[in-house]
Amino acid sequence: MAGVEAVIHDSAMTWDLQQDCVDCAAYALRELNLTDQNKIAEFIKSEMDSKYGLLWYCVCGHSFGSLVGHEGGDCIYFSIDDIF
């Protein structure tokens, strides 16, 4: 998405899927003006569930711990600007 600086820190996804995740997050931030991290996570999960099937997990924020099992090829850790 134009005007968004995304940094992918780690990924086991295809480039197209990575781009879709980043675009979805950027849309939530820039177009929907979501600021609540729970609402951002809810939006991203909903979009990914509808496009790729159920059982997507999404964690948003600056400081968090998580331990989530995943299948090969479907995990990404990224940041957008200085927002998250």
The per-residue pLDDT for range 27-76, each reduced to its tens digit, is: 998 889 998 999 999 999 999 999 998 788 888 888 877 777 766 677 88
**Sole residue written with tokens 């940041």:** 79
Place 25 in a pLDDT band, splitting at 50, 70 and 90. very high
Q: What is the DSSP letter of 28?
A: H
- Entry pTM: 0.82
What local confidence, expressed as pLDDT, does residue 81 receive? 80
What local confidence, expressed as pLDDT, does residue 64 receive? 78
Helices (H), the chain: 15-30, 37-52
Write out the two tokens for 69: 């099992």
Query: Domain 6-66+74-80 belongs to what topology?
Result: Protein Inhibitor Of Neuronal Nitric Oxide Synthase (3.30.740)
Q: What's the helix, strand, coil split of the chain in %, to 5? A: 40, 15, 50
Give dist(CA 55, CA 9) in Å, integer: 22
Residue from 19, 13, 64, 69 nearest 41 by CA: 64
What local confidence, expressed as pLDDT, does residue 28 receive? 92
